[in-house]
Structure 1
Amino acid sequence: MTTSLFDIAPGLATYLLVLVAVLGACMGSFMNCLAWRLVGGQSVLSGRSYCPRCKEQLTAVDLIPIVSWVALRGRCRHCKKRIPVRYVLVEIVMAAVFVAIVLVYGFTVQALAYGVLACILCGVTLVDADTYTIPNGFILAGIATWALTVWFMGVPPQGFWPGSDFATQFGDGFLPVLIDGIAGGLLLGGGILAFSLLFEQVTKRESLGGGDVKLLFVTGLFLGAPLGLFGLLLACFVGIIIAFVLRLSGGLPGSDVLNESDGGPGEPESLKTRAIPFGPAIAVATVLTLLIGSPCMTWYVGLFM
């Protein structure tokens, strides 16, 4: 599956992994900015970054991922107000995710596609946590990424990977990955949509939002049917953990990032009584499935064979 990073000289491999980590941190910083602007109803294509409290424009010194937050001790260089820890945590997590993807998939088209997907899922997590919505732009970006890269993917000889169930009939090229992706998207997106509609019909209560259903369709495209089901089950467990943590902490992560005093849109009253957003759980579970889903399923199936 990989263009083995371990076949490269250790010094070069370390250098490449550092570059990948820096890229991941930079993308985390970008997704922080993108999500903040989407939540605040601002343009994501124009305008300089600025402190939401004092309105001072930020320079390169303020925008170095991780380093700037640490050097400034988590405070704005101008007004000395605290910068939410969420920003640096996102940068660290994205750096780690990028490195993990390269370690699992090497420098391949899969790694590129999954890195883009990780960025999309990061944006989904941040926006959904603050607004309980998943913008269609993220969904379209995910579909476009899969559609552009699936033609260059293949099925590895061993393990449970996207396309593995169809490799016997269609070979180890892109075709089984394409078929499995479509099957996974329809199974997760269509299946959950049908279940959600039935649940609402019986209980007269709202279940999953449309954004969650569309996000599951996108993750199904990337994971395929078997891994997609594993990811859905994992998302339920992650969702329970997130709900438990948030109930204990008394709020959503990042709820202090935008409020009236910050010059942001504030938190609508209706959000305080709504259910825990499921988008972050889907995002976390999808990334974990990409990284550990195949060995976990291989281990599980091995128990019965």
Structure 2
Amino acid sequence: MLPLSTFIAIISFVFGTCIGSFLNVVIYRMPEGQSIVSPPSHCPACTHAIPFYFNLPIISFLLLKGKCRFCKAPISIRYPLVELITGLLALGLFLKFELTPTALFYFAFGCLLIAISFIDLDHQIIPDKLSLPGIIIFSTSCFFVPQMRFVSVIGGILTGGGILYLVALLYYCIRKHQGMGGGDIKLLAMIGAATGVKGVFFTLFTGSVFGTLGGVGAMILAGKSEKREAKIPFGPFLSLGAMLYIFWGEPIIRWYINFQK
């Protein structure tokens, strides 16, 4: 018989993949202005309704060999990838925080970051319908995360939104055109609500590092004629930085401080 902790870990992963399946709906439909509730799941190519037994997270993709059962149109690898990422997020949070309000809070936060990241990758937008309610919802972090205080929440929101606003304003004054969207500003404010001032600075630093590496990689892969037109969304890198802070932020900060001594 499986130990209770192992059983809960398995359930956490399975639950996460199911939520990931719902996130796929949000990622696909919200930018198009479609309802995320109705109609039920269907193939984007032939619009045939997908029975529940062909809509099992990850498993159905493998069984169907990445093709629609009815029209044989290819299914994007994005779908099982989102489900896998969300499942691993749920599992990782359980292993770090166990089955606590902190784990549930950060799971909700991580799910929203996943949806925002993939929407930003596809459309280079961060919907206000996600970020603005997110600022309000995750302002409750002081009730779920032991080290968070209300002053940390307010400081995180003001610092997160304020830093990127000043960066965007400075860029506009120098270049005379917009270089950073308002969505990134609201996203970092939301991250600040959940992680505080320290989380904002950690997220901004690590997000900038990964964003720079991602931008260089994209320019190398793109043709020379496309390099000047390449636009790299910043939202996914901010989201990655925020999750790194939640899992390993404090040890990384301590290592960095000791390294500087």
Instruction: State whether TM-score is above 0.5.
Output: yes
Residue 113 of structure 2 is matched in structure 1 by 121
Name 1:214's counterpart in structure 2: 186
CA distance, structure 1, for counterparts of residue 140 and residue 205 of structure 2: 28
Aligned residues: 257
Aligned to 1:102: 94
Distance of 1:279 and 1:81 partners within structure 2:
30
Q: Is the deviation greater in 142-151 or in 218-227?
A: 142-151
Once the two structures are TM-superposed, the CA of residue 153 in structure 1 deviates from its matched residue by: 3.1
8 A Cα contact 2:139 2:193, kept in partner? no
* Contact 1:28/1:91 (8 A) holds in 2: yes
Whichever residue aligns with residue 235 of structure 2, its letter is G
Q: What is the aligned partner in structure 1 of residue 18 from structure 2? A: 26
> Deviation at 1:249?
4.8
Moved more, 209-218 or 44-53: 44-53
Give the whole-Å Cα distance in 2 for the aligned partners of 1:115 and 1:152.
12
Aligned to 1:261: none
CA contact (8 A) 1:181 1:224 kept: yes
Question: 9, 13, 35: which is aligned to 1:17?
Answer: 9
Q: Does 1:293 find its partner at 2:219?
A: no
CA contact (8 A) 1:32 1:126 kept: no
CA distances 1:73-114 after superposition (whole Å, capped 9, x unpaired): 111111111101111111111111111112222222221111
2:215 maps to a residue whose letter is A
**Mapped partners of 1:21, 1:139: distance in 2:** 26
Matches within 5 A, 1:1-305: 11-155=3-147, 163=148, 177-250=149-222, 273=229, 275-303=231-259
Structure 1 residue identity aligned to 2:118: L
Return the alpha-carbon distance in structure 2 between the equivalents of residues 228 and 105 of structure 1.
Answer: 21
Equivalent residue letter for 1:55? T
Matched letter for residue 275 of structure 1: K
Q: Which has the higher helix share?
A: 2
Q: Distance in 1 between matches of 2:167 and 2:196?
A: 19
Q: Is the 8 A contact 1:232 1:282 kept in 2?
A: yes
Relative contact order (alpha carbons < 8 A, sep ≥ 6): 1 or 2 greater?
1
Percent sequence identity is 31
Whether the 8 Å contact between 2:132 and 2:186 is mirrored in structure 1 is no
Give me the whole-angstrom Cα distance separating, in 1, the residues matched to 2:155 and 2:119.
28
- The 10-residue stretch of structure 1 (137-146 or 65-74) with the greater mean CA deviation from structure 2: 137-146
The offset of 1:274, in angstroms, is: 6.1
Q: Distance in 2 between the 1:131 and 1:273 partners?
A: 15
Calculate the TM-score normalised by the size of structure 1: 0.79
Amino acid paired to 1:226: K
SS of corresponding position for 1:198: helix
The 3-state SS of whatever aligns with 1:47 is coil
Write the distance in 1 (CA, Å) between the matches of 2:32 and 2:74. 19
Q: Is the 8 A contact 2:57 2:83 kept in 1?
A: yes
| Change beyond 3 A, Cα 1:69–1:142 | same
User: C-alpha distance in 1, partners of 2:173/2:230?
Assistant: 19
